[in-house]
C-alpha cells in the first residue's frame, strides 16, 4: 500500500483524533516492510509481535482517555548494535548472529516508557565499522533513491528505512559519521549529539570515547522530538553528562537572525566534489539572506583527523572486541583446545574489516609503537579540539558538507579500504572533538541527495536544530523523500 510520509506530529494527531488506531498503523508499516524490505534490506530483524503489543497498549491508553507522548504509537527502527531485551541484537556480525540480550539499552527503555512502537532492528556495518553498510554479515542495505547504490554507513538500515517510509524515525550510532553519512546519502535528517548527551548504556561498544547514539527522521522537528525522549543523564553510563536537557522543540522557529556561522575553508577544498561544495555554499547563502552572518574560518588541523581517527578507533575496538572469545557469549566454533577454539571463532565469525581493525588496533597499542602511533594520535585529537574551541570563540555554529560526494555504487569501493575511509573526512573531526552535529539534506546532485552538516558547541543541540529547521524551510528539501523510488511504492 502507498503511505504518506507522516511526520511524528501528524501521527500524533491521527491517533488522538481517533482517525486511526495505533494497531492499524503498525499493521500498515509491517505490511510495507514485507513488501519493501526484501529490496532495501534495512531491517535485519523485525518484531511484529512486540510492535503490535506496544501499539495495542497505546490504543488502550487512548481508550482510557490518557494523554499521549508525541512518540507514542509512532513506528521506529533501532540500529542493531543497541540492545533490545529478548530481541536479537546482531551488530551486523555473525559472531552475535544469535545474541538475544537479557536487557534493553537505556534509550530503548526511554522509547518504551513513552509507548513508542519498535518495528525491528536496523542493518549496519559489522560493529559499526564501515561507511557504506557493505560490511554487514546480513548483506548491504540498499539506497531507496537508487537500490544499486549504498545507503552510507554504518547506520544504513535506519537511514534507508526512514527514506523508504518503512519507519517514521529511528536510532543509530555515530563513532566517526555513522549517523550523518547515511542521513546524507539517503536524504534524511540525522543528529549526532554531544558526547555524553545520550546514554550509551546498552550500546555495543565500538570505540567508547567516540560512540554516541542519535536519531534519524524525515525532518528537523521530528529529530528534535526524538532528542527530547532519549537525552539526559543516566547513572548506568558514567560518561553521560549531568547537564540539564532543554526542550529541543521550543526554539526551533526562532530563525537565524544575528547568528554567526563559520564556513571552514578546509572542508570546501580538495577532495570535495565541487557540486557538493556548491550545494552547501548555496544553503549558507540562503541562511545569510535570513539574517545569519556567514564568515570563512579555518580549522587548520583537519587534514590529520582521518589518520588519527583510524588509529584511535581501531585501538579502542581491539580492546572492546577482545570479549568475543567464544567463551562467555556470542557464537563459538569448537576446536581441539581453547586456543584453537578462540582462533577459529574469531577468524571465521568476524568479517574481514573487523579483523583488519583488530590487527591495526593491536599493533598501534603494542609496546614500541604505542608512543609513535597511539599517543601521537591522541595529541592530534587534542589539537583538533583546540581548533574547534578557537572557532567557537567567534562563531555560533559551523557549516560543512557531510560527505565529499553523493552515494556511490555498491561494490565500487569495497576493494580499497583507504578510499572508503576517505568518506569520513568531514564527519570524523566532530567525533574527535565530542561535538554535536546535525545532518540535513540540502539538494540533489545527479538526482541523489547531498547533505549539509551544522556543527555546534558542546551541548548546543538546541541551537543547531534551530539553524537546521530554518535551513530546511528555506532550502525546500523537506518532504522530498517522497520522491525516492521505494518510498513511492
Ligand atoms: N566509517 C567510520 C568507521 O568505519 C565511522 C563509523 C561509525 O561512525 N560507526 O570507523
Among 219-233, 320-334, 368-382, the minimum mean pLDDT is found in 320-334
d(CA 354, CA 58): 41
* Global pTM value: 0.97
Confidence of residue 487 (pLDDT cuts 50, 70, 90): low
3-state secondary structure of 86: coil
286 has catalytic annotation: no
- DSSP for 225-245 reads HHHHHHBS--TT-TTS-----
pLDDT of residue 3: 84
Of 7, 178, 231, 240, catalytic: 178
Can you name the residues that pair with 275 across neighbouring β-strands?
A: none
Cα–ligand 1 centroid distance for 132 (angstroms): 9
- Res. 419: pLDDT tops 70: yes
pLDDT, residue 328, reads: 83
Least confident of 151-155, 282-286, 443-447: 443-447
- CA 336, 352, 136, 237 dihedral sign is positive
Q: Given pLDDT bands bounded at 50, 70 and 90, which one contains residue 480?
A: very low
* Pairing of the two strands 293-297 and 213-217: unpaired
> What's phi and psi for 69, nearest 5 deg?
-70, 150
Q: Do the beta carbons of residue 437 and residue 180 sit within 8 Å?
A: yes
Q: Are 44 and 92 a contacting pair, CB within 8 Å?
A: yes
pLDDT at 478 over 70: no
- CA–centroid distance, 242 to ligand 1, in Å, is 27
Q: 174 CA distance to ligand 1 centroid (A)? A: 7
Pocket of ligand 1 (CB under 6 A): 128-131, 154, 174-178, 206, 313, 424
Helices (H) and strands (E) in the chain, counts: 15, 13
Does residue 308 register a pLDDT over 50?
Answer: yes
Instruction: In whole angstroms, give the CA distance from residue 47 to residue 38.
Output: 16
At 484 the pLDDT is: 56
Which pLDDT belongs to residue 483?
52
* Closest among 86, 164, 146, 70 to 121, alpha carbons compared: 86
**Mean pLDDT of all residues in 433-460:** 96
Reported as a single tens digit per residue, the pLDDT across 349-408 is 999 999 999 999 999 999 999 999 999 999 999 999 999 999 999 999 999 999 999 999
Per-residue pLDDT at 330 = 86
The third-level CATH classification (topology) of the domain covering 8-256+437-488 is Amidase signature (AS) enzymes (3.90.1300)
Q: Which residues contact 379 (CB under 8 A, 6 or more apart)?
A: none
Contacts of 150 (CB under 8 A, 6+ apart): 132, 133, 134, 140, 141, 142, 143, 156, 185, 407, 408, 409, 410
By most ligand atoms within 8 Å of CB, the mutation choice from 123, 203, 424 for ligand 1 is 424
**131 CA closest ligand 1 atom index:** 1
* Spacing, Cα 305 to ligand 1 middle (Å): 13
Q: Which residue has the cell 529478548?
A: 86
CA distances from 187 to 35, 74, 78, 442 (A): 21, 20, 18, 8
Domain ranges of the chain: 8-256+437-488
Which residues on adjacent β-strands are paired with residue 155? Answer: none
Per the listing, cell 540500529 goes with 79
Judging by beta carbons within 10 Å of its beta carbon (0-12, 13-18, 19+), is residue 246 exposed, middle or buried?
A: middle
Distance between Cα 126 and ligand 1 center (Å): 10
When pLDDT is cut at 50, 70 and 90, the band that residue 103 belongs to is very high
Q: Burial, 3: exposed, middle or buried (Cβ in 10 Å; 0-12, 13-18, 19+)?
A: middle
- Locate 351 and state its grid cell: 568479517
The mean pLDDT of the chain is 96
- Asked if 277 is an active-site residue, the reply is no
Q: What is the DSSP string of 25-62?
A: HHHHHHHHHHHHHHHH--EEEE-HHHHHHHHHHHHHHH
State which ligand 1 atom lies nearest to the alpha carbon of 129: 4
7, 21, 79, 219: the active-site residue: 79
Joined together, the cell numbers standing for residue 175 give 563513532
The pLDDT value given to residue 180: 98
The dihedral formed by the CA atoms of 400, 178, 51 and 108, expressed in degrees to the nearest 10: -100
Q: Is 385 a catalytic residue?
A: no
**Percent with pLDDT over 70 in the chain:** 97
The answer to which of 256-260, 462-466, 485-489 has the lowest mean pLDDT is: 485-489
Amino acid at each position: 500500500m502507498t503511505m504518506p510520509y507522516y511526520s511524528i506530529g501528524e501521527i500524533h494527531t491521527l491517533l488522538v483524533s481517533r482517525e486511526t488506531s495505533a494497531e492499524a498503523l503498525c499493521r500498515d508499516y509491517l505490511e510495507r516492510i514485507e513488501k519493501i524490505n526484501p529490496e532495501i534490506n534495512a531491517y535485519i530483524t523485525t518484531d511484529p509481535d512486540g510492535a503490535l503489543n506496544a501499539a495495542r497498549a497505546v490504543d488502550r491508553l487512548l481508550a482510557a482517555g490518557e494523554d499521549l507522548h508525541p512518540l507514542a504509537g509512532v513506528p521506529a527502527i533501532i540500529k542493531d548494535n543497541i540492545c533490545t531485551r529478548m530481541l536479537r541484537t546482531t551488530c551486523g556480525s555473525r559472531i552475535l548472529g544469535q545474541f538475544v540480550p537479557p536487557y534493553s539499552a537505556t534509550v530503548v527503555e526511554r522509547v518504551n516508557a513513552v509507548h513508542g512502537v519498535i518495528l525491528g532492528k536496523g542493518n549496519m556495518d559489522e560493529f559499526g565499522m564501515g561507511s557504506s553498510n557493505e560490511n554487514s554479515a546480513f548483506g548491504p542495505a540498499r539506497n531507496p533513491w537508487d537500490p544499486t547504490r549504498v545507503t552510507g554507513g554504518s547506520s544504513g538500515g535506519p537511514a534507508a528505512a526512514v527514506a523508504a517510509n518503512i519507519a517514521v524515525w529511528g536510532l543509530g550510532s555515530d563513532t566517526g559519521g555513522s549517523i550523518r553519512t547515511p542521513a546524507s546519502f539517503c536524504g534524511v535528517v540525522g543528529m549526532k549529539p554531544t558526547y555524553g548527551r545520550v546514554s550509551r548504556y546498552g550500546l555495543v561498544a565500538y570505540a567508547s570515547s567516540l560512540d554516541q547514539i542519535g536519531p534519524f527522521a524525515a525532518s528537523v522537528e521530528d529529530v528534535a522530538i526524538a532528542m527530547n525522549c532519549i537525552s539526559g543523564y543516566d547513572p548506568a553510563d558514567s560518561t553521560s553528562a549531568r547537564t540539564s536537557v532543554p526542550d529541543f522543540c521550543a526554539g526551533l522557529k526562532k530563525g537565524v537572525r544575528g547568528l554567526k556561522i563559520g564556513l571552514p575553508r578546509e572542508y570546501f577544498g580538495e577532495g570535495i566534489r565541487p557540486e557538493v561544495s556548491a550545494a552547501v555554499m548555496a544553503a549558507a547563502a540562503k541562511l545569510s539572506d535570513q539574517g545569519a552572518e556567514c564568515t570563512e574560518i579555518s580549522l587548520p588541523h583537519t587534514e590529520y583527523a582521518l589518520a588519527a581517527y583510524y588509529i584511535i578507533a581501531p585501538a579502542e575496538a581491539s580492546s572492546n572486541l577482545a570479549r568475543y572469545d567464544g567463551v562467555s557469549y556470542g557464537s563459538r566454533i569448537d576446536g581441539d583446545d581453547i586456543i584453537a577454539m578462540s582462533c577459529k571463532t574469531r577468524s571465521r565469525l568476524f568479517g574481514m574489516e573487523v579483523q583488519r581493525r583488530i590487527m591495526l588496533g593491536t599493533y598501534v597499542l603494542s609496546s614500541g609503537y604505542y608512543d609513535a602511533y597511539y599517543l601521537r594520535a591522541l595529541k592530534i585529537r587534542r589539537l583538533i579540539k583546540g581548533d574547534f574551541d578557537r572557532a567557537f570563540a567567534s562563531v555560533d555554529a559551523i557549516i560543512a558538507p557531510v560527505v565529499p560526494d553523493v552515494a556511490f555504487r555498491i561494490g565500487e569501493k569495497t576493494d580499497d579500504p583507504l578510499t572508503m575511509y576517505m568518506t569520513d573526512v568531514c564527519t570524523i573531526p566532530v567525533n574527535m572533538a565530542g561535538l554535536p552535529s546535525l545532518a540535513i539534506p540540502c539538494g540533489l546532485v545527479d538526482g541523489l541527495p547531498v547533505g549539509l552538516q551544522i556543527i555546534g558547541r558542546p551541548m548546543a543541540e538546541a541551537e543547531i536544530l534551530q539553524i537546521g529547521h530554518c535551513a530546511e524551510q528555506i532550502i525546500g528539501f523537506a518532504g522530498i523523500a517522497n520522491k525516492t523510488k521505494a518510498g513511492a511504492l
